[in-house]
Amino acid sequence: MRVALFITCVNDTLFPGTGKAVVSLLRRLGCDVDFPAAQTCCGQMHVNTGYREEGVRLARHFTEVFAGYDAVVAPSGSCAAMVREQYPKLAKPGSRGAVAIAEVVPKVYELSEFLLDVLKVDDVGAYFPHRVTYHPTCHSLRGLHLGDRPTRLLRNVRGLELVPLPGAEECCGFGGTFAVKNPAVSAAMGADKTRNILDTGAEVICAADNSCLMHIGGTLSRQKTGVRTMHLAEILASTEEAQ
């Protein structure tokens, strides 16, 4: 398959290792992975704060950049949900933009969706000998409805002990611009999530969105807990040779 990596802004700017992990993992599974250098922001922040025209422009650019690929894979439930849920609402029905969106959007997948639903793989040959708990981020849980896809993949990682997270479906408090507009509430929600993570005794907290992990990780770090944050892709790309 000819697959394009949609890296997303947060990963490109702050967590490039996640993008590298996705490429390493998909190539290991036999995919031909491209990185279209012209890609930009999906427009989620713009649309969420009322800048609809900017969102339309970015959606148009996205469809131009990613046209022609068999699949577009994003290591982000948040940005994949933006493309899948919001893009069809941005274009005028029957317009060229609507046609382009209808062609590209169905090929956009969050990583765990692509692995399980397209490649039909639930054991990617990973090895990660650590105690891990998983946080289902809001967009991946409620927008994409990933369900147990990420945890199915984690359960098949050799050496990994997956422990349930109390209050797993509760928001961590990041919520994109929510954390900026409501910092006190965001911090309180983050503290609740951190307390639940510590109760598991996990060494690593895993999620499908680095934006949420950044928020959670900040709280964990300030409390000097020693618990690491890791994106799902990084765990799945890990092998015994790399340990």
Residue at 47: amino acid letter: V
Hey, what amino acid is at 158? R
pLDDT at 221: 93
| Arithmetic mean of pLDDT, 76-94 | 93
C-alpha dist (Å) from residue 184 to 33, 190, 198: 41, 10, 21
Residue 47: name the closest of 12, 81, 13, 4 by CA. 81
Contact 125, 111 (CB under 8 A): no
Phi first, then psi, for residue 177 (nearest 5°) are -70, -15
Return the structure tokens found at 221: 């770090």
Nearest-angstrom CA–CA distance, 232 and 243: 16
From CA 128, how far away is CA 231, in angstroms rounded?
13
pLDDT digits (tens, 9 = 90+) for 186-215: 899 999 999 999 999 999 999 999 999 999
Distant-in-sequence, close-in-space partners of 230: CB < 8 Å, separation ≥ 6: 132, 204, 205, 206, 213
Sign for the CA dihedral angle at 112, 80, 75, 180 comes to negative
pTM equals 0.94
* Residue 23 C-beta-side C-alpha neighbours within 13 Å: 13
pLDDT, residue 67, reads 95
Compute the distance between CA of residue 52 and CA of residue 45 in angstroms, rounded to an integer. Answer: 10
- The average pLDDT across 163-183 equals 88
Query: What is the chain's Cα-based Rg?
Result: 18
pLDDT in tens, 65-84: 999 999 999 999 999 999 99
Lowest mean pLDDT: which of 41-55, 190-204, 224-238? 41-55
Cβ contact 67:97 at 8 Å: no
